[in-house]
A and B are shown apart, each in its own frame.
Chain A
């Protein structure tokens, strides 16, 4: 499997020429890699240096500073629940607890769900609390009930492309 698809390479090249300096393209490029592969591996960083002339040191500085970049293969869905003050006042902790329990229960019953649960800081939707993100989808007013319903809804969907790509790449590596 090539490190980056032809489409991704095109996107990366676009970003490299879009800003005043090449260095500014690091954040958008890392976003683009994640959009395709779901996470950023050492191999990706090396490729950015070797094939696109971005210093691996600079790339790593960005990769490790910002919380949105994943340096480990994730589960297909990241269910992020805001736990900052306004959402906390509206029961965000209950939502998080309910989700964790449900994931645990499913795991024990041998039907693992494709979710990671994270408590995150303010998502800028404080009036519609608790606010959440499932990957890039915003869901507001997510009470415990609504959270369980969302788990069901997303579990019934086809997996996102990035998750399929991520799983295939890991399987290919394991076979080597």
Chain B
């Protein structure tokens, strides 16, 4: 049983704002608003003029317990510390490929507070010694590309980017780069290949990007949200950040709710917030008072949980992992009682079969088969053997490939086939 912190009782999500403080402001994206209303660029000033060394910055972020918000939850400060010290070309790349079905938080950050991202990137670049950084944005995000480019332009004009920033001797340049439609470019090595002007196929790790990344140089790839929260942490200190969240999952996180829910949207919550309270009270429950059947708690790659399994969960990495799923990108997809899990499976597998880059046989063939078999079953042409076959295909796709897209298709498939086996029976021929 997770422990629900007392301080969440009787408080609304918007009392926990760290990242979305400018939400609802008429001119939120403007640098002047960010500076005047959001303590904008104060953290950068503290770093560059307050005598913080790159190590101090890394240690502060480490002490905050911030974990990567792109899906894997890897500690951000630790990742930065893997970059070799000393001179030489290094790069920081923001992963703004946001393509995981259910996820729309990074778009929201760029809509409400793009300067948090820009400032966070400058600070992170200082910490790892990067002279250049990119925001790699999905090609379909036309507005977001514009908003980020505009924020960068404003930051240059205000002297926060360019040569010798604030007279500190630190020089940094930043640019946006637009992808061209491929989910696999969200995987960090695929993203680096894409930025190099190649097809976005993932590469075997090690070497990890921190040692050998963009153009063979040390490179840190971080999610938009991971970087955008850095200025707050630096400005307010790691202890203030740790007041939010749980011991192992400190801080706040953005959660996106989608599916037939009364108040869908992007919410900032302290980690450890009770899942069902969030769904039923903050998001107003399911549309039309429908009954909940299942929740996908962390984007489409996270295995579905039954309504019963969700009852006592809290929204943090450990609680969701304990239930056999993952917090992932924080995208919560609600599935109502009247939707068949057989068709949910078919929809999910259609996505992964389409997005597999095809380099690894278990992934290319496995996603294809899972899609075909689930479609076959849905048409009433499947048999019991098909159920076993799906289960064994999914098992064979795990841990055998260059990237984890294969696992991201296999795990949700296994969960649906086992937890909702009874829903498949009426479709099977015998």
Query: Footprint of B on A, CB under 8 Å?
Result: 18-28, 30-31, 58, 61-62, 65-69, 83-86, 88-90, 121-129, 133, 136, 138
> Are A121 and B355 touching (Cβ within 8 A)?
yes
- Given known pairs A20-B215, A26-B197, the reply for A124 and B140 (CB within 8 Å) is yes
List 26 A-B residue pairs with CB atoms under 8 Å apart, sorted by A's residue number: A19-B197, A21-B197, A22-B197, A23-B196, A24-B195, A24-B197, A27-B194, A28-B178, A67-B181, A68-B181, A84-B300, A86-B101, A86-B259, A121-B99, A122-B99, A122-B300, A124-B98, A124-B99, A124-B106, A124-B107, A125-B107, A126-B258, A127-B257, A127-B258, A128-B264, A138-B143
7 more A-B residue pairs beyond the given contacts A20-B214, A122-B102, A124-B104, with a C-beta to C-beta distance below 8 A: A23-B198, A24-B195, A85-B347, A86-B258, A89-B260, A121-B355, A126-B256
How many interface residues does chain B have, given as a range? Answer: 35 or more
Q: Among residues 265 to 323 in chain B, which have CB atoms less than 8 Å away from a CB atom of chain A?
A: 265-266, 296, 300
Closest Cβ–Cβ distance, residue A74 to chain B (whole Å): 14
Closest Cβ–Cβ distance, residue A21 to chain B (whole Å): 7
Determine whether B335 belongs to the interface, using a CB cutoff of 8 Å to chain A. Answer: yes
Which one of B178, B195, B347 lies within 8 Å of A88 (CB-CB)?
B347
Interface 1/0s, chain B 56-83, versus A by CB < 8 A? 0000000000000000000000000000
Closest Cβ–Cβ distance, residue A119 to chain B (whole Å): 10
Closest Cβ–Cβ distance, residue A60 to chain B (whole Å): 10
> Are A90 and B260 touching (Cβ within 8 A)?
yes
Complex CA–CA separation, A58 to B102 (angstroms): 33
> Are A21 and B182 touching (Cβ within 8 A)?
no
> Are B197 and A58 touching (Cβ within 8 A)?
yes
> Are A85 and B99 touching (Cβ within 8 A)?
no
Closest Cβ–Cβ distance, residue A140 to chain B (whole Å): 10
Complex CA–CA separation, A61 to B138 (angstroms): 18
Q: Which of B104, B265, B350 has the most CB of A within 10 A?
A: B104
> Are A27 and B333 touching (Cβ within 8 A)?
no
> Are A30 and B215 touching (Cβ within 8 A)?
no
Nearest 9 CB-CB pairs, A to B?
A66-B180, A86-B258, A127-B264, A65-B199, A23-B197, A68-B181, A67-B181, A126-B258, A84-B101
Which one of A19, A23, A65, A136 lies within 8 Å of B182 (CB-CB)?
A65
Interface 1/0s, chain B 168-212, versus A by CB < 8 A? 000000010111111100000000001111111000000000000
Closest Cβ–Cβ distance, residue B226 to chain A (whole Å): 17
Complex CA–CA separation, A27 to B136 (angstroms): 12
**Residues of B contacting A122 with CB < 8 Å?**
99-103, 183, 300, 351
Determine whether B421 belongs to the interface, using a CB cutoff of 8 Å to chain A. Answer: no
Closest Cβ–Cβ distance, residue B303 to chain A (whole Å): 13
**Residues of A contacting B259 with CB < 8 Å?**
85-86, 89-90, 129
From B197, which residue of chain A is reached at the shortest CB distance?
A23
> Are A27 and B300 touching (Cβ within 8 A)?
no
**Residues of B contacting A27 with CB < 8 Å?**
177-180, 194, 197
Determine whether B141 belongs to the interface, using a CB cutoff of 8 Å to chain A. Answer: yes
> Are A69 and B180 touching (Cβ within 8 A)?
yes
Determine whether B52 belongs to the interface, using a CB cutoff of 8 Å to chain A. Answer: no
> Are B215 and A21 touching (Cβ within 8 A)?
yes
**Residues of A contacting B100 with CB < 8 Å?**
122
Complex CA–CA separation, A22 to B198 (angstroms): 11
**Residues of B contacting A83 with CB < 8 Å?**
347, 350
**Residues of A contacting B258 with CB < 8 Å?**
86, 89-90, 126-127, 129
- Given known pairs A23-B197, A85-B348, A121-B355, the reply for A31 and B101 (CB within 8 Å) is no
**Residues of A contacting B335 with CB < 8 Å?**
89
> Are B180 and A126 touching (Cβ within 8 A)?
no
**Residues of A contacting B347 with CB < 8 Å?**
83-85, 88
From B184, which residue of chain A is reached at the shortest CB distance?
A65
From B348, which residue of chain A is reached at the shortest CB distance?
A85
**Residues of A contacting B180 with CB < 8 Å?**
27, 30-31, 62, 66-69
Complex CA–CA separation, A83 to B348 (angstroms): 10
> Are B103 and A133 touching (Cβ within 8 A)?
no
> Are A61 and B101 touching (Cβ within 8 A)?
no
**Residues of B contacting A58 with CB < 8 Å?**
197-198
Q: Among residues 97 to 155 in chain B, which have CB atoms less than 8 Å away from a CB atom of chain A?
A: 98-104, 106-107, 132, 138-143
